[in-house]
Amino acid sequence: MSRTEDGHAPILRTERLILRPWRPEDLEPFAALNADPRVAASLGGPQDRTFSDALAARIFNEFDDRGYGRWAVEVPGKAPFIGFVGLAVPSFEAHFTPCVEIGWRLAFDHWGHGYATEGAVAAMEFGFTAAGLEEIVSFTAATNVRSQAVMERLGMHRDPKDDFGHERLGREHPLYRHVLYRIRREEWVTGPARNSGGRGDASST
């Protein structure tokens, strides 16, 4: 791990990825992936450029505000920006908030290579060590089995009693039902994902 010259987000390196601070030139490809119906299918639908840029602006400040956040993901020699992986604080209220969640959003062309898992392992390690977190959660629509597979490869576990309805979407929305996964620091330290580097089955994101 190294730090940027401005001292903000640390740079994390994995076997195939660089998790780095965001750059202005990331905004265009980020907007493209947010507008892709395939990427947005589990997010409530495609997002326009204004929404995408506003989200990126919030992400830019996360490390300064909390000491952790969502990194831009680069595949050296292949793609300068494929999306984000990292840690965030949900902005809505639910039975499990306040909390810190781990999440990812990658361009469709980079699905199926195990990048989400590999990047999430690095982010999880940072969260439980450098950031000193006790627990990390992750959630997604009940229909999003790809992301649920990533959560399970990270060693996270689901209790159906924790599942919830995402009120911001509304009860009639097809993505209303969400599943919640959790992992505590002691589970991460002794779990297999920490030592695998995330290079297991690449059939999911």
The label of the residue with tokens 């009693």 reads 161
Residues 6-21 pLDDT 10s: 447 899 999 999 999 9
Q: How far apart are CA 196 and CA 191, in angstroms?
A: 10
pTM passes above 0.85: yes
Domains identified in the chain, total number: 1
CA R_g for the chain? 16
Q: For 91, which DSSP code?
A: S
Give the residue numbers spanning the domain of 77: 2-196
Residues 96-139 pLDDT 10s: 999 999 999 999 999 999 999 999 999 999 999 999 999 999 99
Q: Is residue 55 part of a domain?
A: yes
Q: State the CATH number of the domain containing residue 87.
A: 3.40.630.30
Q: Please tell me whether residue 174 adopts helix, strand or coil conformation.
A: coil
Q: Is residue 20 part of a domain?
A: yes
**Consecutive H or E run containing 94:** none
Q: Is residue 118 part of a domain?
A: yes
Q: Is residue 203 part of a domain?
A: no
Q: Is residue 202 part of a domain?
A: no
